[in-house]
Amino acid sequence: MKLVDTANLALKQLMERKLRTILTILAIAVGVASIIALSAQVEGVKGEILKSLEKLGPNTIMVNVRTSTLFTDLDIVNLKSISGVVSVSPLFMTTARASGIEDRITVIGISSTDLQIILGEINLQSGGLYYDVPAPQAIIGYNIAVDDTGMNRYNVGQPILVQIGARSIMLIGIGILNPYGSTTIVNPDNALFVPIEYIKLLLRASGYTTLIVKTGSIEEIDQVMEQIRYMFGNRANLMSVKQIAITVQTITSQINILLTGIAATSFIAAGLGTFNIMTISVLERVREIGTLKAIGMKDRGVLKLYLFQGFILGFIGSIVGMIFGSAIAYLIPIILSGSLDARIVGQNVLSSYTPIITPLNVLTATMVAIIVTLIASIYPSWKAAKMNPVDALRYE
């Protein structure tokens, strides 16, 4: 029997028991949809994080103070003298309380000319940048300026009362940022940006908590980091955007493998369902198998016939799973952003990422589905192939 005729006969036999076939296909589709939907979330989150890293630039090194001894202007001069260093931007970061906001916020002292380094691009909803003078000015993050209902807590020109430790200060909002989401340094949506000279004067600080170092190229990062480690010793923690990107990719790949493995357990039910329907199909067609053998079909032809049925179940199940998996993948972020507390989620990655369905994950889910159904079809197909035609024709 030709391959096309075998496939047609296999499909015809499956369609004789439509409900049973549909249920088996749906069981297979669940596994495929689970793998595609879950892996799309991981890929989407990874893409969003890497997009945030790109704003900083791959040639960026963050140097954070580890001890109570802050970085000084002399440290900045020494860093700039290192071969390969293009620029050094100082920051002073501290936590605070703001009037009308339950959670703590971050106050960041930074020069207005360096804002672009940590924001990627300066995207203001209203107002403008402050002047680099020791004055009580502030650029307000979106989640601070706007409440959960979308109403403005603070407008440009309006004062905002902030408590840093035991000290209460009044800042004037110069500008309000649009939503940004989390970055590797800080979440701009939950931060107040103030002139660095003002925060140092206010807190009587003689240094900086963070230094952002830019190198001339990615190739120079490792060499520059080695020299910075030698310079500061245990005083500083170093972190490069390149290292973070590699770590993110490694962690998300491991999470993806874990979630795929968990989702793949649903194929156990699909395999058992396929084994069940194939076994019943063989038992229901004992006389038909005997007839086929009597008119000349070889054992190999019978084996091929029922393996084809398993392949058809796996292939159609994977197609249905792709459709449902793709729909569910884009539905999950909507459910997450709608169900999680806006005060907790804010504008972070859980509410802003876009799922990414990769060809590799689709191919993996499809191949697993087809392989599982073929394995589940081997024993019933072998039993059918080894059936004695004389005994089969006598079967009642």
Q: Scanning the structure block, which residue is given the tokens 């680099």?
A: 132
Would you say residue 309 has pLDDT above 90?
no
Give me the residues paired with residue 124 across strands.
Answer: 177
Task: Kindly report the three-state secondary structure assignment for every residue of the chain.
Answer: CCHHHHHHHHHHHHHCCHHHHHHHHHHHHHHHHHHHHHHHHHHHHHHHHHHHHHHHCCCEEEEEECCCCCECHHHHHHHHCCCCEEEEEEEEEEEEEECCCCCCEEEEECCHHHHHHHHCCCCEEEECCCCCCCCCEEEECHHHHECCCCCECCCCCCEEEEEECCEEEEEEEEEEECCCCCCCCCCHHHEEEECHHHHHHHHCCCCECEEEEEECCHHHHHHHHHHHHHHHHHHEEEEEHHHHHHHHHHHHHHHHHHHHHHHHCHHHHHHHHHHHHHHHHHHHCHHHHHHHHHCCCCHHHHHHHHHHHHHHHHHHHHHHHHHHHHHHHHHHHHHHHHHCCHHHHCCCHHHHCCCCCCHHHHHHHHHHHHHHHHHHHHHHHHHHHCCCHHHHHHCC
307 within 8 A of 377, measured Cβ to Cβ: yes
Length of the chain as a residue count: 396
Would you say residue 248 has pLDDT above 80?
no
Query: pLDDT digits over 46-76, tens only?
Result: 887 777 766 667 788 889 888 878 898 899 9
Instruction: List C-alpha distances in Å: 46 to 5, 57, 121, 353.
Output: 47, 16, 21, 9
Please compute the mean of the pLDDT values over residues 238-246 and round it to a whole number.
79
Number of other residues whose CB lies within 10 A of the CB of residue 152: 14
Parse the chain into domains and list their residue ranges: 3-53+248-394, 60-216
More confident residue, 193 or 379: 193
pLDDT of residue 258: 82
142 within 8 A of 176, measured Cβ to Cβ: yes
Please compute the mean of the pLDDT values over residues 308-334 and round it to a whole number.
88
In the structure, what pLDDT confidence band is assigned to residue 352 with cuts at 50, 70 and 90? low
Query: pLDDT digits over 93-118, tens only?
Result: 988 988 888 888 899 999 988 888 88
pLDDT of residue 322: 92
What's the chain's Rg over C-alpha atoms?
32
Tell me how far apart the terminal alpha carbons of the chain are, to the nearest angstrom.
27
Please compute the mean of the pLDDT values over residues 145-159 and round it to a whole number.
86
Query: pLDDT digits over 194-222, tens only?
Result: 999 898 888 888 889 999 888 888 888 88
Q: pTM of the predicted model, to two decimals?
A: 0.65
pLDDT of residue 343: 42
- How does the average pLDDT of the chain come out, rounded? 82
pLDDT of residue 347: 46
Would you say residue 351 has pLDDT above 60?
no
Nearest in space to 325 (alpha carbons), one of 234, 281, 260, 385 = 260
